């Protein structure tokens, strides 16, 4: 499966010199694990295909060909992945075609962008505690859930900062 005439070379092996069957098996296997973790099937396949490409970016046509799926399936998957901050869209230089890119820090970005969601959940849970009554069994359950998300929010920020430092030490600045 040739990606492009100018495919990047990594460790002396160009992308198309790899065993396409082995790469395809990896894509499907890791995508299946993401599905087991709660991701939708097609976004998991598209994300893994992008992750497994040397350039980290493919067009809709490239993704459709690699995954043997329709343009509509790719479009829906990319929309979902974009909303989750797991891929970004960019224009191909000199073309109207879009490329979809996964960056090396995509997990960091996806988790960091969860902070807004956590704050929304916390706000809703506070309302739940108030409306249910803090001393009722349901109110106590809501309060514990709220405390969990407040804890996660605090810990996530500290953990992400530790990861940023660790990543720079291990891989350098990007």
Structural domain contains residue 1: no
Residues 24 and 50 in one domain: yes
4 belongs to a structural domain: no
The verdict on residue 71 lying in a domain is yes
Write down which residue in 79, 103, 127 finishes a domain.
Answer: 103
pLDDT at 10 over 60: no
Positive or negative torsion for Cα 13, 31, 104, 95 = positive
- How many domains, in total, are found in the chain? 2
> What are residue 173's phi and psi, to 5 degrees?
-70, 145
The answer on 155 and 124 residing in a single domain is yes
Same structural domain, 87 and 16: yes
In a domain, 162, yes or no: yes
Are residues 77 and 42 in contact, defined by beta-carbon separation less than 8 angstroms?
yes
Look at residue 31 and tell me if it is in a domain: yes
132 and 84 co-located in one domain: no
Check pLDDT > 60 for residue 13: no
CA 137 to chain centroid = 37
Q: Is the dihedral of CA 25, 31, 36, 42 positive or negative?
A: negative
| 55 half-sphere exposure, CB direction, 13 A CA radius | 17
| C-alpha to C-alpha distances, 12 to 8, 17, 50, nearest whole angstrom | 10, 10, 20
Q: Across all residues in the chain, what is the average pLDDT?
A: 86
Residues 70 and 90 in one domain: yes
Question: pLDDT, tens digit, for every residue of 33-87?
Answer: 999 999 999 999 999 999 999 999 999 999 999 999 999 999 999 999 998 888 9
Cα 112 to Cα 156: distance, rounded to the nearest angstrom:
8
User: Six-digit token pair at 73?
Assistant: 């399936």
The domain boundary residue, chosen from 103, 131, 159: 103
pLDDT of residue 7: 43
Looking at 103, 119, 136, which one is the last position of a domain?
103
Q: Is residue 3 part of a domain?
A: no
CATH number, domain at 55?
A: 1.10.10.10
Same domain? 49 vs 86: yes
Q: Which structural domain, as residue segments, surrounds residue 34?
A: 9-103
Reported as a pLDDT band with limits 50, 70 and 90, residue 95 is confident
Evaluate whether 57 touches 99 at the Cβ level (below 8 Å). Answer: yes
Q: Are both 29 and 60 inside the same structural domain?
A: yes
Residue 49 near residue 63, CB atoms below 8 Å: yes
Count CA atoms closer than 13 A to 147's CA, side-chain side.
Answer: 7
The Cβ of residue 111 has, within 10 Å, a number of other Cβ atoms equal to: 14
Q: What predicted TM-score, i.e. pTM, was given to this entire model?
A: 0.71
Would you place residue 12 in the very low, low, confident or very high pLDDT band (cuts 50, 70, 90)?
Answer: very low
Cβ-contact 95, 129 below 8 angstroms = no
What's the rounded Cα separation, in Å, for the pair 74 and 113?
23
Q: Do 86 and 120 belong together in one domain?
A: no
């Amino acid at each position: 499966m040739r990606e492009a005439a100018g495919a990047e070379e990594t460790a002396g092996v160009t992308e198309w010199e790899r065993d396409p069957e082995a790469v395809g098996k990896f894509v499907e296997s890791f995508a299946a694990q993401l599905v087991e973790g709660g991701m939708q099937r097609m976004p998991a396949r598209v994300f893994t295909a992008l992750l497994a490409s040397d350039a980290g970016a493919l067009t809709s046509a490239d993704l459709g060909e690699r995954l043997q799926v329709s343009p509509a399936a790719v479009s829906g998957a990319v929309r979902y992945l974009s909303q989750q901050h797991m891929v970004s869209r960019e224009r191909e230089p000199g073309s109207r075609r879009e490329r979809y890119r996964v960056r090396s820090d995509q997990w960091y970005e996806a988790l960091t962008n969860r902070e807004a969601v956590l704050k929304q959940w916390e706000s809703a849970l506070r309302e739940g505690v108030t409306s249910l009554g803090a001393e009722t069994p349901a109110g106590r359950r809501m309060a514990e859930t709220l405390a969990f998300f407040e804890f996660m929010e605090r810990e996530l920020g500290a953990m992400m900062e530790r990861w940023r430092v660790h990543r720079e030490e291990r891989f350098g600045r990007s």
